[in-house]
Amino acid sequence: MARIFSGIQPTGIATLGNYLGALRNWVALQEGEDEGIYCLVDLHAITVFQDPAALREQTRQMAALLLACGIDPERSVLFHQSAVSAHARLGWIFNCVARMGWLKRMTQFKDKAGKDQEAVSTGLFVYPNLMAADIHAYHATKVPVGDDQLQHIELANDIAEKFNHDFGVAFFPRIEAVVQKESARVMSLRDGTKKMSKSDPSDMSRINMTDTADVIAQKIKKAKTDPEPLPEHVKDLEGRPEARNLVGIYAAIMGQKPHEVLHQFAGSGFGPFKQRLADVLVAHVEPIGRRTREYLADPTALDHVLQAGARKAEAIAEPIVREAERLVGFLPRG
Ligand code: AMP
Ligand code: TRP
């Protein structure tokens, strides 16, 4: 049995990109025999300022969404990161293992910091160390994520290797990203070269998992396309990022390959294809949004689910992180 760990930031509302790239995978992995640990990474969220009331609200919202997607708190461990101190403690140790040069190479940092790197929080810079700690605190070996996180997973392996080397142990195992090939990167509906993101200023650029049927249909109708009909061959989607994205979304939702989708729609204009795409999206996404609202109606019950999850998470992480603290040379806590 392997242990799976993944995390999502409780900021904004999860998008179709989060769902197809990560969350759906988490639910599918529950069917296997691996143990799944899923974390709302609120410590990561505050690397950029969050309004405190909004952070509380959005943490509950994300918990509700994960339950609505099918994460079963009896079979998996679902909790909020700040409730388990092992993350921050191992994160600090990793701050002292990782090298400045490694972090300076992280493309997500460069993207998020933009032009004014001097003005962002220091947390944003060391955030990949905390992400490494999230995973290694559980000796997890499989990490289901979208492909934007691959560089962070490599870094987590580099950190573990250096820790093992520095202290002469084989304590932290190698980890492996589990990436859903077809939907590793869902793109913006307004610009097929940018990833769909919950932080994009334009709400029309994304499908939120809580959007109503009307809103979903409207967004797909307005989604950017090009004047050509859909081609017969997948290679002819090259240079047509918006068309490729919509075909990819349809394929991911229906569990098909892009060439199967093209087989069905080749020669069709975007009108009829978008209509079908909107229908299948509504059929998949709308029930999840509805269940999310049902869970959100009882915030106390949600808090209890997360708190019970945190105690289970702690029982796994605490002995591992205590051993890491011992290896580093800290005296026992007693
Ligand atoms: P975040 O929204 O950055 O907290 O990401 C949570 C998870 O969703 C991570 O595993 C990401 O790789 C994944 N993800 C985020 N955006 C997308 C996207 N547009 N396509 C595919 N996966 C995504
Ligand atoms: N950094 C991830 C993101 O922004 C979220 C995350 C934090 C994560 N810790 C993790 C993902 C550990 C996988 C494993 O999407």
Give the pair of three-digit tokens for residue 252. Answer: 């991911």
Tokens matching residue 253 = 């939702």
Closest residue to atom 6 of ligand 2, CA basis: 7
Query: What does the alpha-carbon distance between residue 282 and residue 278 come to, in Å, rounded to a whole number?
Result: 6
* Closest among 30, 45, 230 to 130, alpha carbons compared: 45
Query: Which token pair is 11?
Result: 């900021």
Q: Which two tokens stand for residue 201?
A: 């200023």
Q: What is the pLDDT of residues 105-141, one digit of tens each?
A: 999 999 999 988 999 999 999 999 999 999 999 999 9
User: What pLDDT band is residue 55 in, cutting at 50, 70 and 90?
Assistant: very high
Rounded CA gap, 153 and 99, in Å?
15
Q: Which domains does the chain have, with CATH numbers?
A: 3-185+298-328 (3.40.50.620), 210-294 (1.10.240.10)
Ligand 2 close to Cβ of residue 134 (< 6 A): yes
How many residues would you count in the chain?
334
Active-site residue flag, 198: yes
Counting ligands in written order, the one closest to the CA of 195 is 1
Residue 155 near ligand 2, beta carbon < 6 Å: no
Q: Which ligand is nearest to the CA of 146?
A: 1
Segments in the chain forming alpha helices (H): 16-18, 24-29, 42-45, 52-69, 86-95, 100-104, 107-113, 122-136, 150-167, 213-222, 241-254, 258-265, 270-296, 299-328
Cα–Cα distance measured from residue 45 to residue 43, given in angstroms and rounded to the nearest whole number: 5
Q: Is 194 a catalytic residue?
A: no
**Radius of gyration (C-alpha) of the chain in whole angstroms:** 21
Residue 142: strand, helix, or coil = strand
Q: What is the pLDDT of residues 191-246, one digit of tens each?
A: 999 999 998 999 999 999 999 999 999 999 999 999 999 999 999 999 999 999 99
State whether the beta carbon of 3 lies less than 6 angstroms from ligand 2.
Answer: no
Mean pLDDT score, 178-199: 90
* Averaged pLDDT, 265-281: 94
At 1 the pLDDT is: 87
Ligand 2 atom nearest residue 131's Cα: 9
**Is 235 among the catalytic positions?**
no
Q: Among the atoms of ligand 1, which is closest to the Cα of residue 149?
A: 12
Tell me the ligand closest to 14's alpha carbon.
Answer: 1
168 Cα: distance to centroid of ligand 1 (angstroms)? 35
Average pLDDT in the 20-27 region?
A: 92
Sheet containing 35-40: order of strands: 77-80, 35-40, 3-8, 142-144, 176-178
Ligand 1 mutation target, pool 148, 207, 245, most atoms within 8 A of CB: 148
Average pLDDT over residues 166-171: 98
Share of the chain above pLDDT 70, in %: 100
Q: Which residue has the least CA distance to atom 14 on ligand 2?
A: 6
d(CA 19, CA 23): 5
Spatial contact of 15 and 139, defined as CB atoms under 8 Å apart: no
